[in-house]
Structure 1
């Protein structure tokens, strides 16, 4: 009896430890901590290099009603969201459809963590015939891992109009980041056919880690939180992470479509 009771206690202790570790890991990877959401790596870069950011476009979730972000004249605005913003409602999607040609949502963080709002948001967007792109916050360690992450993103969001490799933290440990990043694009292109494939990152990271792989993508989505539009070639410019979206009643990431492309380019 004593041995059985001891064994049961040990098993329960191991289970509790495992559950606690799993919960902590899930919390770390969720949008609640913002880790694994678009711009996270860029924010870490800006913390170390504050001179790289225009103060007029800083601070997430600190505005109560009107955005203090400098207004630019760059073109049509696009929003991107994740589970950090919560599940969309049918009314919100209807309003978004009136105001935007498409929206971009997170699909995953690495290959294993699925955005908790992906199923709800992609279903509602599809139901309301609103176009959307989907991104993966990439954590691949080599080329094979990159291909797998691309496969998982496509499998989880086959109805997306385009796909985005959000690579802003170099996690490659075997081989080089350029090769792995090109492998991601090549793999998802085989699955997505003629749909657009975009690469997202900030300029310093791109030029120092994947300067050649970008050419494997249909377009570059540049993160640069500043008032003046960057001159680098791009199809989207994410100019802030704190645009107040009245449709969602909260602050979100916002980008502008480059003048050289139209919104139809992304979704056709």
Structure 2
């Protein structure tokens, strides 16, 4: 049974490269992100967005270094974007799959940088500890995906080619993620720092459609790559955003008496 499953999976995936770094990062990314999702559900939030100061009173007394939300969010995504940009120069001359993967990673983080600069509106600060942890996670994931793809570039491709499906899924999901970020930004007028119940798009079904589309974008990247590491990162990211969206819905229910109870957290009609 186990060997049959192994053979089935590798009709869709490259054999893992002989790299201790990539192997270790596959396990670390999955465990770290899944644990972060569990921590969110338990109330130990990464300190950004509406949860930036969601701590117990005893913890609030501890002096923590804060940065503005704009600067903090920019620091989350800029290193990973630069890693994607530099990779075109560091690893030239690879095939189409490598080009699509690098382009998807670079475009994903470029979109996030542009949203930080021109779309998002901010209401608070970020704890520097959280900025460092998230930024390092994104940077290492981008570097590992690119290096991993470099290692398998000359290896025989899997029998089933998913790179075109993956790139289309990535582009459509990125557009959906951007659209719902835009709707969130439109909720606030100039200098408005309060929260409102989001409306429009898929907000009528789930409170975090932007998270859903972010997961699907990483599924698209995994399909482009067809290697083990991106799938591990995507599974870990899914667990984290499940926890984050669960807490977001719980937060809205506690703050707004008229929050519609049929609006789910992340997956329409289900969760």
**TM interval, short-chain normalised:** under 0.3
- Larger strand proportion, structure 1 or 2? 1
Larger relative contact order, structure 1 or 2 (CA cutoff 8 Å, min sep 6): 2
TM-score, structure 2 normalization: 0.23
TM-score, structure 1 normalization: 0.23
- Larger helix proportion, structure 1 or 2? 2
